[in-house]
Amino acid sequence: MSSNGSPVHLCRPSRRTLLAESALGFGTLALKSLLAAEETSVAAGKLGMLAHHPAQARSIIFLFMSGGPGQTDTFDPKPLLQQLDGQRVPDSIAATVPSIPRSGVSSRLMASPFRFRQYGESGIPVSELFPETAKLVDRLCVVRSLHHRNPVHGPAECLSLTGTAVGDRPSMGSWISWGLGSANSNLPGFITFLSNSTGPAPQRPGWNSGFLPAQFQGTAISGTDSIPWTSMPAADSDQQRQEQLQFLNWMNQEHLLRRGDNTELAARIASFELSFRMQTAAPEAFELSQESTSTQELYGLNDSRTAEFGRHCLMARRLVERGVRCVQLRNGGWDAHGSLESNHRARAAATDLPVAGLLQDLQQRGLLDQTLVVWGGEFGRTPTTEGNVTGFKRGRDHSPAGYSVWMAGGGVEGGQIVGATDELGYVPVERLLTPADLHATLLYALGLDQHQLAFRHRNRDEIPTVLGGHVIGEVFG
């Protein structure tokens, strides 16, 4: 702890710590000098300014498919499941899963309604749900052996995005923003977009800062909105607004001095100056009319099915291009307890083209190598039907025991598969991995060591992965 009780890195004091301790330093010459130096570093293409080791990536885009896409319907095909459709789970496999919550082991097996094909030079099989993403499979590293024990949406989403199911810890985006600081002083370091918010409700811990200083929480944006309250009032000039903020900052500083250490108040004070800067930067960043017609079509903005998520994917590219560290795109509605075929077809139709467009656009702009893209949900789905439903109404229950994610860009070696589940897709039988391992890997790609990125909270040195995960080294070749 510092002399005034504010947190510090265990590795070394950072620029961010200096900002937090100065509270209202945004108006000072020293801070302006720091910000100018930071912008110079970004312009020079330097990665990992506060990193613990050389960074593979500067930014991360997390494509979070909320509700649980079925692994055996997307990126983990199971020929035996097709053969045993409608039959009981074989004893040899049933014996390995009795302790898995909501395993559905007493239900009938359900063949995937989707065909798989091998794509690219790597020959990785991809479901017919993703014809556009499949064309880029040689850029993907598909991880098939993620595993945890929580079968409930809310806690599992918290686990996937914060490291624990309780929802009281910082999100990964907040850890990243806190660990690396901002690469653009005019925009938030962490932004999350919410689309198709049907089904399980978005979990606020997924973008909140937990016990980290409040200024590192994510800025949440829904639907077609921009960052709220960033339009300059028509009657105010830039100079008038700056004078207003200087007066407010003086009053708030006096209040903060009387209140003592208060990260929420310090964050609110800092947000005033950031809001002023965003009134210039945010409208430009969110103005998609600047993009060519061909680029907008690449993301599917000309199709009502893909327009919302396509807009968010295009915004993600524009934001990382402008130095935003972490962009999280939450797309809801994948919870297919019934009518799995129509559910997954609709969700894939809304997201496949925009995701492929994002990867292509990042690549052609030279941004993919410095942007880590991650796709996945909070868990997968059982190889069996839920209950005894038949025909087109068949669906699957939640299955956290074994599920898939993929990564691309940011130092990732594409065209490979890491891990494997059993013949029906229940549990990992090769390279068992946890959300903590995935988090450690994401941090590593950004130049952050999970064990050194520590924050003193209630007399305990907290790290992003709680008890520690292991970097999935194969991802980087």
Which pLDDT value is given to residue 179? 94
Scan for tokens 């991880």, then name that residue.
143
d(CA 475, CA 472): 6
pLDDT for 26 equals 36
Answer whether 253's CB lies under 8 Å from 245's CB: no
Which positions ≥6 away from 10 have C-beta within 8 Å? Answer: 452, 454, 461
Residue 62 lies in a domain: yes
Domain range for 286 is: 15-229+240-476
Both tokens of 266, joined, read 């310090």
Count, in order, helices (H) and strands (E) of the chain: 13, 16
SS3 label, residue 469:
coil
Q: What's the rounded Cα separation, in Å, for the pair 474 and 453?
A: 23
Residue 6 lies in a domain: no
Q: Which residues contact 19 (CB under 8 A, 6 or more apart)?
A: 25, 26, 31, 34, 270
Domain count, the chain: 1
Q: What is the pLDDT of residue 234?
A: 66
- Judge whether 91 lies within some domain: yes
Within-domain flag for 1: no
Output the tens digit of pLDDT for each of the chain's 477 residues: 333 443 334 443 343 443 443 333 333 333 333 333 333 333 333 343 467 899 999 999 999 999 999 999 999 999 999 999 999 999 888 887 767 778 888 899 999 999 999 999 999 999 999 999 999 999 999 999 999 999 999 999 999 999 999 999 999 999 999 999 878 888 889 999 999 988 889 999 999 999 998 889 999 998 766 665 555 566 667 677 667 767 777 777 777 777 766 667 776 666 666 666 666 667 788 889 989 999 999 999 999 999 999 999 999 999 999 999 999 999 999 999 999 999 999 999 999 999 999 999 999 999 999 999 999 999 999 999 987 666 778 999 999 999 999 999 999 999 999 999 999 999 999 999 999 999 999 999 999 999 999 999 999 999 999 978 999 999 998
pTM flag (> 0.85) = no
Residue 193 falls inside a structural domain = yes
For 97, 176, 299, the CA distances from 21, given in Å and listed in that order, are 51, 19, 42
Is 189 contained in some domain? Answer: yes
- Collect all residues with Cβ–Cβ distance below 8 Å to 318 and sequence separation of at least 6: 285, 286, 288
346 assigned to some structural domain: yes
Residue 155 lies in a domain: yes
